[in-house]
């Protein structure tokens, strides 16, 4: 019981520090805010901030842990008779139709993206996160198909599926920064997903079909 309460307190403290930091970054820009200023605003020590967030970039991109494995998670959770690409396309369509914040379809996302575009360190971290997404997807495809380590096909297919995800996120970010509404962007991105699916080869679309590997 006491252990659970401690964990909850830690989660609340972490979230509070992140929220304070995000507010400062949105107001003044990432590079203009120091970790010491975040600590002062959150009424904690600098060491406490670093205990929860090893790097300054983690304060702003604090939800990246939920992103790096989501394509791999969707592939592992695909239904019987469903391919890896079909599972990812289905999940993305569901999030776009729902106008979900998970794909950036939320008021204020333009401010979030501007902070990233103005900070080289955040852009670099975002690239590293995207690489993790790809690596995790590659690993999932190898596990799901039993492909040997020297088989290049899982890597090639992972690259194609990841292209869909990365393109979608880039378009959402660009259109939200242009002042579009989440609903309008949602409708356009659904059409874009259809276009991207048409560009994928049958080999990619039918790779790693559950129950037929």
pLDDT single digits (tens) 123-166: 999 999 999 999 999 999 999 999 999 999 999 999 999 999 99
**Residue 185 has what pLDDT?**
98
Q: What percent of the chain has pLDDT over 70?
A: 98
For 12, the token pair is 């609340």
For 164, the token pair is 């869909």
CA distance 128 to 111: 21
For 78, which DSSP code? P
State the angle between helix axes of 153-177 and 182-199 in degrees (0 to 180), rounded to the nearest 10: 150
For 153, the token pair is 């096909």
Alpha helices in the chain (DSSP H): 2-28, 35-42, 46-52, 56-60, 70-76, 84-97, 109-117, 120-145, 153-177, 182-199, 202-205
> How many Å separate Cα 45 from the centre of its chain?
29
When pLDDT is averaged across residues 20-41 and rounded to a whole number, the result is 96
> Is there a contact between 181 and 197 (Cβ–Cβ < 8 Å)?
no
**Residue 212 has what pLDDT?**
52
Whether this model's pTM surpasses 0.85: yes
CA distance 100 to 92: 10
């Amino acid at each position: 019981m006491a252990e659970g309460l401690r964990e909850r307190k830690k989660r609340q403290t972490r979230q509070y520090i992140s929220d304070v930091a995000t507010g400062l970054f949105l107001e003044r820009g990432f590079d203009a805010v120091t970790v010491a200023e975040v600590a002062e605003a959150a009424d904690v020590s600098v060491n406490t901030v670093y205990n929860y967030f090893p790097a300054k970039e983690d304060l702003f991109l604090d939800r990246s842990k939920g992103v790096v494995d989501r394509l791999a998670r969707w592939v592992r959770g695909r239904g019987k008779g469903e391919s890896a690409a079909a599972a990812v396309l289905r999940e993305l369509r569901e999030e776009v139709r729902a106008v979900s914040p998970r794909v950036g379809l939320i008021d204020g996302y333009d401010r979030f993206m501007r902070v990233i575009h103005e900070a080289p360190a955040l852009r670099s971290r975002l690239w590293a996160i995207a690489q993790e997404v790809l690596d995790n997807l590659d690993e999932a495809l190898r596990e799901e198909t039993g492909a040997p380590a020297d088989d290049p096909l899982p890597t090639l297919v992972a690259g194609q599926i990841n292209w869909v995800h990365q393109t979608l996120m880039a378009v959402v970010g660009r259109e939200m920064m242009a002042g579009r509404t989440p609903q309008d962007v949602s409708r356009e991105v659904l059409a874009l997903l259809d276009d991207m699916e048409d560009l994928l080869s049958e080999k990619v679309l039918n790779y790693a079909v559950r129950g037929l590997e």
